[in-house]
Amino acid sequence: MTQTTAAPNQITVTTESASAQQAAADAGGNAKGKRRGAKPVVAKQLGGAIRQRNEERILRAAAEVFASAGYKGTSVQAIADKVELPKANILYYFKSKAGLYTAVLNDILEMWNQGFDERAIEREPADVIREYILAKMRYSRTRPQESKIFATEIIHGAPVIRDAIDLPMVGWTKQKASVIQAWVAQGKMRAIEPLYLLFLIWGTTQFYADFDSEIAMIKGRALSDEEFSKAEDFVVETVLRGLALI
């Protein structure tokens, strides 16, 4: 919900203000309003108090179910059961299952672009990269559901968010890559292809969220906070050494 740092020079607009709002709009029910002369004027802020509360609850429940069962594996009824509302009611707020899924994904995308901060390029690579890895690791830890939904979506070729994410994603990535490239040019780190570094970080951090069940299998239980913290340290140290920054 809250817009984090955000690259200033990005087309984030497409994803944030624009598409988030728009998603809320076409996800929001009450299609009937349109039938006759659209009486309710334009839109008095879209959504009464009740609506807002319920949409939030539904979204939360939906994320849970989508994460654990996948899009196709999720039935609207299952979500309804979880929020304890009749199915018809949730279809009243989100006019289709697809609309609900899109809304969930938009919420996720808002959080996805945790970038290097604006002054990254002037700072020490080691510091920026450390912070970036930690941010990603923490996201995996605190939002495994969202991470899973995102991963599943991408694995299946991003059928739903393709258009919403395509351009912005390219932008975010290019920006990060160019910062890294600059560091290399300045001789601040060993010569590497920035993209592959990003992939290594994304892959590793994503693993902790997406494969938590595998980790639990292996360890016999989930990672404790201390263990996770150790894992964070390991990733940071290994990457920094790997880049010859330590």
- Contact set with its own copies (CB under 8 A): 68-73, 148, 151-152, 154-158, 162, 165-166, 169-170, 173, 192-193, 195-197, 199-200, 202-208, 210-211, 213-215, 217-220, 230-231, 234-235, 237-244
Nearer to DNA, 10 or 54 (CB): 54
3-state secondary structure at position 28: strand
- Smallest distance, Å, CB 46 to its own copies? 31
Instruction: Report yes or no: 15 and 164 within 8 Å, Cβ to Cβ.
Output: yes
- How far is it, in rounded angstroms, from Cα 16 to Cα 7? 12
Residue 35 touches which of DNA, its own copies, none (CB < 5 to 8 A by kind)?
none
Instruction: Report yes or no: 236 and 134 within 8 Å, Cβ to Cβ.
Output: yes
Nearer to its own copies, 54 or 145 (CB): 145
DSSP state letter for 31: G
- How far is it, in rounded angstroms, from Cα 6 to Cα 120? 12
Element (H, E) at 21: helix 21-27
DSSP state letter for 222: P
Residue list 19-78, contact with DNA (CB under 7 A) = 30, 33, 39-40, 44, 47-51, 54, 74-78
Nearer to DNA, 4 or 77 (CB): 77
Interface residues with DNA (CB under 7 A) are: 30, 33, 39-40, 44, 47-51, 54, 74-78, 85-89, 91-92, 95-98
